[in-house]
Structure 1
Amino acid sequence: MVLVTGATGTVGGEVVRALPAGLRVRVMTRDPAKAAGVFPGAETVAGDYTDPPSLAGALHGVRTAFLVTARVDGGDDAAFVAAAVKAGVRRVVKLSAAAVLDPGADDLLTRRQRANEDLLRGCGLQWTLLRPRAFMSNSLSWAAPVRRERTVRALYGTSPNACVDPRDIAEVAVRALTEDGHAGRAYTLTGPQALTAAGQTRELGRLLGIPLRFQELTPDQARAALSGRYPPPVVEALLASAERQRAGAKAHVEDTVRTLTGHPARSFRTWARDHLEAFTPPPDEPGPHPQTP
């Protein structure tokens, strides 16, 4: 049996959808009602990293597990790994981040990922680490202003990032979960090219059939916008990450997706075309209308 954590999030949900039909799949979530009916054929169980009995129940009979954690100030990885060892899990595939390889990255989020990678490497289980660049789906945060104002706002709009489609991350995760030969490996995952926020804005505009305006935020404006969504330590970590991107630290492209899946990494244009509805206003709302790709 395969256990998937974070299934109601970006990558975890794609992993569940990409797992082969007929495979026994269990989804762990804090809120089973949220996942009910979303993943037909998968077993859904309640589980919380802070609740050891729930972890033991979720991991019972599990052979491989996909691990996604998000809390900065918690011991979620340690709790999960301890429970996995006790339950007799064979392999854990961990979602980490490409920044762990950057010696200049010393922000809170990267330090947490490095510590969690060290924890997994030393636990005695088979492990595989996935280190993606930024998700292409992060641009969904632009959807509302694109629909309402035909505007994208972002920090350092001309700085490149080799962002990756979450579906490609999921395909690699599925291979690591279901195939031999991935134990003890760490995979850096990127898209096929480094893109800027301004370039992504132009691509969205072409697909929608209308010009979009890009408005660059100042660091103070970006801090104010992020402060409405994240605690202060996370905000500062994200701003430090943006500075490294501006310095070119996130522009390198890897061919890992093609090597492991047999197909090239999906382009941003492909991702945007497949999610164009999110950027398109409903018929009764004024705004752009998509062109036929």
Structure 2
Amino acid sequence: MILVTGATGTVGGRIARRLVDRGPLRILARRPDRVAVAGPLVEVVRGDYGDRASLDEAMAGVRAAFLVTNNPQRPQEDADFIDAARAAGVRRLVKLSAHAVGHPDADDLITNWHRANEDRLRASGLGWTVLRPRAFMTNTLSWAPSIRAEGVVRALDGSSPNACVDPDDIAEVACRALTEPGHEGQVYSLTGPEALTVRQQTAQLAETLGRPLRFEQLTADQVREGLRRRYPEPVVEALMDSAERARSGSKAQVDSTVLEVTGRPPRTFRSWAAENARHFN
């Protein structure tokens, strides 16, 4: 039995869909009604990281688990999940972390939260694999409304390169780590095949859509104001710190991990854009 968390999200959902026909699969969700993955070998259970009884129930009979958490202001969630996994005899835990953990100059709230959770996992005694992806290509879907309405991409900085990665590549690496031997104790840094600026992504989207798009640079205050509508202030400042680091080129590193683990190169942003053009039209 494999347990997947985050199945209503970007990576967890892709992992769950890949595992539907590969043996018993259990999905843990706060809102099971939002889980779109189904099949004769799939069981969806209600649970919460803060509810130890629900974690214990979800872990019963599980040999491998995928963990994703998303709230740096609730640092106990990872610890509670790891404790429950260890108590249940789970042998393998694959955790979604962040590429910035490997950068010594990254010292913001979100990166330090991931760093501490990685340390907890290493000390747990479980067989572990850590996935450190760069920014998701799917993040550009946030541009879709302004592209459809105005033909405009707005962002803080158009010239900082970022080796963004297709979440499908992350999911494929995760599935291999969950189902194959040889991945225990590995930290996998996951990127796309090239580093692109927002201006370059905008140009590639324009070519894909067959119509002109323009880039408009936002001020730091405009970006901060937008983030405050979605996140608490400590998270906003962490995201702004991350954006500032990008200006130094710290997010341009391209890793070969996807090729090494899957046997194929990571997908390009151009390829991702072609598959997802419908969202921007």
The bucket for the TM-score relative to the shorter chain is: over 0.9
- Structure 1 CA distance, aligned partners of 2:22 and 2:258? 24
**Percent of aligned pairs with the same amino acid:** 58
Q: How much has 1:69 moved relative to structure 2?
A: 0.3
- Structure 2 CA distance, aligned partners of 1:125 and 1:31? 28
- Matched residue, 2:184: 183
Q: How much has 1:71 moved relative to structure 2?
A: 1.1
- Matched residue, 1:18: 18
- Matched residue, 2:238: 237
Matches within 5 A, 1:94-173: 94-173=95-174
Question: Is residue 38 of structure 2 the alignment partner of residue 39 of structure 1?
Answer: yes
Q: How much has 1:275 moved relative to structure 2?
A: 1.1
Matches within 5 A, 1:206-217: 206-217=207-218
Deviations 1:120-170 (A, max 9, x none): 000111000000000000001111111111111011111000000000000
Matches within 5 A, 1:190-209: 190-209=191-210
Letter matched to residue 32 of structure 2: P
- Residue 39 and residue 198 in structure 1: after superposition, are their counterparts in 2 closer, same or farther (change >3 A)? farther
- Structure 2 CA distance, aligned partners of 1:182 and 1:119? 18
- Matched residue, 1:223: 224
Q: Describe the SS at the equivalent of 1:211.
A: coil
Letter matched to residue 77 of structure 2: D
Q: How much has 1:242 moved relative to structure 2?
A: 0.6
Deviations 1:220-269 (A, max 9, x none): 11101111111111111011001111110010101110111011000001
TM-score, normalised via structure 2 length: 0.97
Q: How much has 1:39 moved relative to structure 2?
A: 3.0
- Structure 1 CA distance, aligned partners of 2:19 and 2:58? 18
Q: Structure 1: any 5+ residue segments left out of the alignment?
A: 281-293
Q: How much has 1:40 moved relative to structure 2?
A: 2.9
Letter matched to residue 70 of structure 1: N
RMSD: 0.9
Letter matched to residue 46 of structure 1: R
Question: Is residue 97 of structure 2 the alignment partner of residue 58 of structure 1?
Answer: no
**Equivalent residues of 1:2, 1:63 under 8 A apart:** yes
- Please say which of residues 212-221 and 110-119 is displaced more in the overlay: 212-221
Q: How much has 1:191 moved relative to structure 2?
A: 0.1
TM-score, normalised via structure 1 length: 0.94
- Structure 2 CA distance, aligned partners of 1:158 and 1:39? 42
- The count of corresponding residues between Structure 1 and Structure 2 is 279
Deviations 1:92-127 (A, max 9, x none): 000001100111100000000000000000011100
- Matched residue, 2:267: 266
Letter matched to residue 270 of structure 1: S
- Structure 2 CA distance, aligned partners of 1:262 and 1:22? 20
- Structure 1 CA distance, aligned partners of 2:221 and 2:52? 41
